[in-house]
């Protein structure tokens, strides 16, 4: 359930991560959509006592740490990385209580160090900004730190990499708990992509990083816009104005997967969104996603997601989408 979110702040707060968590969870969007307002609270070790930020401003929390005691989600923003014994003991104890009662813990960037200081990363897959990943692993040897992903979803523990990856993790959590329609409304009003996969353990194990090459970016956009069409490495290499061998090598180097693996993952993602937000038949979804047949869709979907499409639809279909969703003939999902 995702109804109440509490955001604890301490000295050395990073304002961007504080802002993105507040933007996703703290704004009342019910005035222009069917998305309900979250019960959002900012808390500190002492209510009403300002905390410092890294940019010379201050943030004054309205609530004390008791606000964490019944929140569905505790969202920990980034901040200055300090020795574990220098984090407020009251905060670490409150985080441990939240974990014990089953609250979802979400961290942005270096917020993972706060969770680690509370002993909540031991034996768990997690991530943080790539610059800090080695230090996080050194401090918590039993944690399974992945420096390459945008975020890691381990059920009641969601950790994200640096800066904008916190947006991805937050929207992912909204999508996981409330469905694509709600996440898409929030994303569109933030003017950000509604879904960049980043580590949902049960379904997708790692993200597809954005490419730094304009030529490859054009190829990714071309494939995304034409999922229902057939593509080959040769045709994509010609589009990128590269030899087939160079294109294949560059693609793997920048995305971590082969072109066909990337395309299959995008087709499965398209099918997931269609299953969640439309009543289209499995055959129609298979065709629009580019799988060609329901049998092929079921094969790839089960391999990527771990369940059959019909089972996924039963679990994640939105009963009443906040806004209409339809599938164009060119296979792009429109919300």
pLDDT for residue 329: 28
When pLDDT is cut at 50, 70 and 90, the band that residue 196 belongs to is low
Give the mean pLDDT of the chain.
87
Classified as helix, coil or strand, 101 is coil
Residue 264, pLDDT score:
93
- Work out the pLDDT band at 202, boundaries 50, 70, 90: very low
Rounded-to-integer distance, Cα 21 and Cα 116, Å? 20
Segment 123-149 mean pLDDT: 94
Q: What is the mean pLDDT of residues 103-110?
A: 98
A 10 A CB-CB count for 172 gives: 25
User: 32-46, 50-64, 174-188, 318-332: which range is least confident on average?
Assistant: 318-332
Domain 209-335 = CATH 2.115.10.20: no
| Residue with the two structure tokens 């740490």 | 65
Tell me the two tokens of residue 77: 């923003």
Q: Which distant-in-sequence residues (6+ apart) come within 8 Å of 142 by Cβ? A: 122, 123
Burial class (CB in 10 A: 0-12, 13-18, 19+), 48: exposed
Q: What pLDDT, in 10s, does the model give residues 17-68?
A: 999 999 999 999 998 888 889 999 999 999 999 999 999 999 999 999 999 9
Task: Please report the pLDDT score of residue 211 as a whole number.
Answer: 53
Percent of the chain with pLDDT over 90: 63
Candidates 43, 109, 126, 318; catalytic one: 109
Is 214 in contact with 221 (CB distance < 8 Å)?
no
Model confidence at 321, in pLDDT bands (50, 70, 90)? very low
Contacts of 233-240 spanning 24+ positions with Cβ under 8 A: 233/259, 233/260, 240/215, 240/216
Topology match between the domains 4-190 and 209-335: no
Is the per-residue pLDDT at 269 higher than 90? no
pLDDT exceeds 90 at position 191: no
Q: What is the pLDDT of residue 331?
A: 30
- Whether residue 109 lies in the annotated active site: yes
Do the Cβ atoms of 270 and 244 come closer than 8 Å? no
Say what the pLDDT of residue 319 is: 45
Write down the pLDDT at residue 8: 98
What mean pLDDT do residues 267-285 have? Answer: 90
Contact between 2 and 38 (Cβ < 8 Å)? yes
Residue 198 token pair: 């980043």
pLDDT surpassing 60 at residue 210: no
Q: Which two tokens stand for residue 286?
A: 């298979």
Per domain, the residue ranges of the chain are: 4-190, 209-335
Residue 303 or 73, more confident: 73
In this structure, which CATH number among 3.40.50.300, 3.40.50.880, 3.40.50.2300, 3.10.129.10 belongs to the domain 4-190?
3.40.50.880
């Amino acid at each position: 359930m995702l109804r109440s979110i509490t955001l604890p702040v301490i000295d050395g707060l990073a304002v961007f991560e504080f802002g993105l968590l507040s933007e996703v969870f703290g704004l009342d969007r019910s005035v222009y959509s069917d998305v309900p307002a979250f019960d959002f609270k900012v808390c500190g070790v002492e209510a009403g006592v300002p905390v410092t930020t890294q940019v010379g401003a201050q943030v004054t929390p309205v609530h004390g740490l008791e606000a964490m005691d019944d929140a569905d989600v505790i969202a920990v923003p980034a901040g200055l990385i300090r020795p574990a014994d220098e984090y407020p003991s009251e905060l670490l104890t409150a985080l441990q209580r939240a974990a014990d009662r089953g609250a979802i813990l979400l961290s942005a960037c270096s917020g993972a160090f706060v969770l680690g200081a509370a002993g909540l990363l031991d034996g768990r897959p997690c991530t943080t900004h790539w610059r800090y990943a080695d230090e996080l692993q050194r401090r918590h040897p039993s944690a399974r730190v992945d420096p390459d992903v945008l975020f890691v979803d381990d059920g009641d523990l969601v950790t994200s990499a640096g800066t904008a990856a916190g947006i991805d993790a937050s929207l992912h959590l909204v999508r996981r708990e409330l469905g694509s329609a709600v996440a898409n409304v929030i994303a569109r009003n933030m003017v950000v992509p509604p879904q960049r996969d980043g580590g949902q353990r049960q379904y997708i194990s790692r993200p597809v990083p954005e490419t730094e090459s304009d030529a490859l970016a054009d190829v990714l956009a071309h494939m995304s816009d034409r999922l229902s069409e057939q593509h080959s490495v040769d045709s994509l290499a010609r589009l990128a104005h590269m030899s087939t061998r160079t294109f294949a090598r560059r693609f793997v180097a920048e995305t971590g997967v082969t072109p066909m693996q990337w395309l299959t993952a995008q087709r499965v993602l398209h099918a997931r969104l269609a299953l969640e937000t439309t009543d289209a038949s499995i055959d129609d979804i298979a065709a629009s996603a580019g799988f060609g047949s329901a049998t092929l869709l079921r094969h790839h979907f089960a391999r990527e997601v771990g369940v059959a499409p019909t089972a996924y639809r039963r679990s994640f279909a939105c009963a009443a989408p906040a806004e209409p969703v339809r599938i164009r003939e060119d296979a792009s999902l429109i919300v």
